[in-house]
Amino acid sequence: MQARKLKKLLNTGYIVQNCGEYAAIGSTYVHDIIKIDKQTLKIEVWRKANNNDNLKNLLEKLKEIKDSGELREILDGKDEISNPLPVFCYRGDQIIESKTDDYEWPNTDDDGYLLYKNTTFKTKKDCLSYAFKDLSYSFKSISEQLDQAKEEVARLQQRTSREAKALSILADEYAKMLRGMTDDNR
């Protein structure tokens, strides 16, 4: 995504970034005051956004860019960066190299992703090291949650077994009682 190009066309101080399935225009507090679905080009405004002139002007410019057909090109393209510096991040099991011109936040890479000090790195080695630690912690946490869920399932199975046995005993008693009532009424 050409986040830098879109930011320049909109002439805005807001942060413009690629968020995967959508593009976002927002602030440091609310990253997606405006969301643009990258497939449908549907534009959504955060429900708590102030409906001020600045936002109205921004939406008008965005609509013009969309109507011109340029928005599709921006969302599908890559920013051209002079004096490119390498930047690395990981997504899933992939180490991804992109380019930027400044490592300081807030800034984006040539794919429009916002650079964060704890998730983007100047070297592949640093990125791999972070990814390994992060995924190890995540794996450990998920494994612990799975163990807890297994314990809960076992507890519920025991309870279900006790309840089924009690229900069976009471069902027999209830059936005997009903038969006795029927015999008395003959």
pLDDT at 19 (0 to 100)? 95
For 40-63, how does the pLDDT look when each residue is reduced to its tens digit (9 = 90+)? 999 999 877 677 778 888 999 999
Assess whether pLDDT exceeds 90 at residue 92.
no
Q: How confident is the model at residue 165 (pLDDT cuts 50, 70, 90)?
A: very high
Q: How confident is the model at residue 146 (pLDDT cuts 50, 70, 90)?
A: very high
Residue 78, judged by CB atoms within 10 A of its CB (0-12, 13-18, 19+), counts as: middle
Q: How many CA atoms lie within 13 A of 38 on its CB side?
A: 17
Do residues 79 and 2 lie in contact, with contact meaning Cβ atoms separated by under 8 Å?
A: yes
Q: What is the mean pLDDT of residues 95-118?
A: 93
pLDDT at 109 (0 to 100)? 95
